[in-house]
Amino acid sequence: MNILLSIIYLIATVTFVIGLKLLGHPETAKKGNLISAVGMVLAIIGTIFLHDFEVPSINYILIGAALLVGTILGWIIAMKVEMTKMPELVSLFNGFGGGSALLIGIVEFNKNVGLEDASKASASIITTILAAIIIGSITFTGSLVAWAKLNGSMKDLRLPKYNLINNILFLALVAFASYIVLVNTDSFILIYVLLAASLIYGYLFVAPIGGADMPVVISLLNSLTGIAAAITGILYGNMVMLVGGILVGSAGLILTFVMCKAMNRSLTNVIFGAFGGDAATGAITGGKSGGTIKKTTASDSAILLNYASKVVIVPGYGLAVAQAQHVIHELELLLTKKGVDVSYAIHPVAGRMPGHMNVLLAESNVDYDKLIEMDDINPQFPNTDVVLVVGANDVVNPAAHNDPSSPIYGMPILDVENAKHIIVNKRTMNAGYAGIENELFFNTKTSMLFGDAKSALTELVSELKNM
């Protein structure tokens, strides 16, 4: 590797580290993403034009065409995707990363362990190649299943003894891969059998996991994609791929455990448990029947908000579905002009992916200082006059504290029931992603404002303007 390329890789590595650091706060996340992207562009250009081996001219044309097509498609998809579809997009792109790793593994097997070179390949090289194939395959099909679940086009699949089946298949994968390494085979039939088994395992690994746990699964799969990228970096002796893969893998794993902690559950419980399934299943497994509810109107809600001193807004997935982030910001500005102290309560797993609500509100230019995390906002609820819950459900369900039989018992939640008044905006009384009834809806301090979030908030704003 020449000196210039080494310098470019060093610069790219530094930009990855800086970018990852900046991604830790909403105010600097955009800048961090841009810095990392610039570093990746430098690494790609350096790899194409400054490598130490000869490449036929036709290959440059193919590489350029692939980059152009990928850039255009990625730009179009990113520009057109709605915020509600962002978790699905993350899953899809993550799957592409896994698919790339498995294809690289197959190509490198042909290159290093092919018919002519079978006797020359070391066990370490074969092990690395097979690891790329297995992890890439699992990530590819697992991410596609996660995408389908978030998209609503796939339901949970629970085969009898599915944990046993998955564990046996995983052990069989490890044993089969070990056999290939030990015999140093050049058989592509065995490699394709391993590939097929890995793809099947990726499907079976994610298929039984409930929709409520998809954010955790996405983080875990993202970590696996990083590991696969690091493995390909080892295959090519490419330090920037290795460092980038390690950063993605470690960050994804840390985020996975953070989200598990936010739900008061272990990773093994997420993978092997039954939480977060279909609504019908969840309703049977837990949740107390609350009794009667109290309906309210936009006019009555506006009066309550108008005379409040402190208001806390709790955004949820329903806000994203209705694309009501701009209206809720307008409501916040209007209340602030009236002298009301307004802030937003952000639960770590609100929405369908980590940071979903932060990104959604940032899109409407909400002041970052008004976004308050769960641990900081919970002590403020007893002194809050009105809590406005928009589209959130499980993250404000008191059953997490009160009902030991509930599937979400022990999960840290936003303690909105401690506020003086509670307004909950929902389309219907349908259960949340966990599939259980919400005790908050039956609280004597709770008023239900039914309707689409955008329409309800627009009406609220209109009522407040006339006061």
C-alpha span between 120 and 137 (Å, rounded) = 26
C-alpha span between 374 and 393 (Å, rounded) = 15
Query: Encoding tokens for residue 257?
Result: 């455990």
C-alpha span between 209 and 271 (Å, rounded) = 6
Contact 180, 194 (CB under 8 A): yes
Catalytic residue from among 278, 369, 375, 394: 394
C-alpha span between 429 and 291 (Å, rounded) = 12
Contact 358, 370 (CB under 8 A): no
Please, what is the angle between helix 239-262 and helix 3-22, to 10°? Answer: 10
Edge-to-edge order in the sheet of strand 371-373: 371-373, 341-346, 310-315, 386-390, 421-426, 446-450
C-alpha span between 301 and 305 (Å, rounded) = 6
Q: Is 394 a catalytic residue?
A: yes
Query: Encoding tokens for residue 400?
Result: 């997490």
For residue 452, with 0-12 CB atoms within 10 Å meaning exposed, 13-18 middle and 19 or more buried, which class applies?
Answer: middle
C-alpha span between 212 and 351 (Å, rounded) = 10
- List of residues 6+ apart from 4 with CB closer than 8 A: 46, 50
Active site residues: 394
